[in-house]
């Protein structure tokens, strides 16, 4: 039963990610800007801080794919993303929303709200479960 529920969540996340990616590409096309993809084969999340992106202020559309929850310094990453996008309407964040995927060891943050659903990023540190091994 749990396996089927997790499969359903995985499939829904994939569909949501693809739809958001298409919306971000449309927005970039509409504005005549390049699209910057972070995560999902694009720029690694650890590279997004302190003007390391190599782009000018307010110059592109940003699509983040399941990566902000894994970056060690989410505030610095968000500041850099906001700088290059220039506006929350140019930022598209696809993030993990519960389920077993949120328990992966590299997930550091629970993202509650993010663009395009909210103009601001709302997050909190992930609370880790203590797993005891018996035997």
Model confidence pLDDT, tens digit, residues 3-53: 677 667 667 777 888 999 999 999 999 999 999 999 877 787 777 766 666
Domain count, the chain: 1
Please report whether residue 84 resides in a domain. yes
Domain assignment of residue 101, given as a range: 2-125
Please report whether residue 133 resides in a domain. no
Residues 58 and 84: their CA atoms lie apart, in Å, by 5
Please report whether residue 131 resides in a domain. no
Please report whether residue 109 resides in a domain. yes
Per-residue three-class SS string for the chain: CHHHHHHHHHHHHHHHHHHHHHHHHHHHHHHCCCEEEECCCCECHHHCCCCCCCCCCCCCEEEEECCHHHCCCHHHHHHHHHHHHCCHHHEEEECCCCCHHHHCCCCCEEEEECCCCCCCCEEEECCCCCCCCCC
What is the reported pLDDT for 52?
Answer: 64
Please report whether residue 78 resides in a domain. yes
What is the reported pLDDT for 87?
Answer: 93
Q: Please give the structure tokens belonging to residue 25.
A: 């590409």
Please report whether residue 132 resides in a domain. no
pLDDT band at 130 (very low <50, low <70, confident <90, very high): very low
């Amino acid at each position: 039963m749990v396996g089927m529920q997790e499969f359903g969540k995985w499939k829904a996340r994939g569909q949501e990610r693809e739809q958001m990616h298409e919306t971000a590409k449309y927005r970039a096309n509409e504005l005549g800007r390049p699209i910057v993809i972070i995560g999902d084969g694009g720029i690694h999340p650890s590279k997004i801080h302190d003007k390391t992106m190599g782009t000018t202020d307010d110059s592109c559309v940003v699509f983040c794919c399941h990566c902000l929850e894994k970056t060690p310094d989410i505030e610095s990453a968000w500041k850099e993303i906001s700088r290059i996008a220039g506006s929350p309407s140019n930022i598209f964040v696809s993030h993990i929303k519960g389920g077993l995927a949120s328990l992966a060891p590299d997930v550091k943050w629970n993202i509650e709200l993010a663009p395009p659903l909210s103009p601001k990023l709302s997050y909190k540190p992930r609370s880790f479960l203590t797993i005891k091994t018996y035997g």
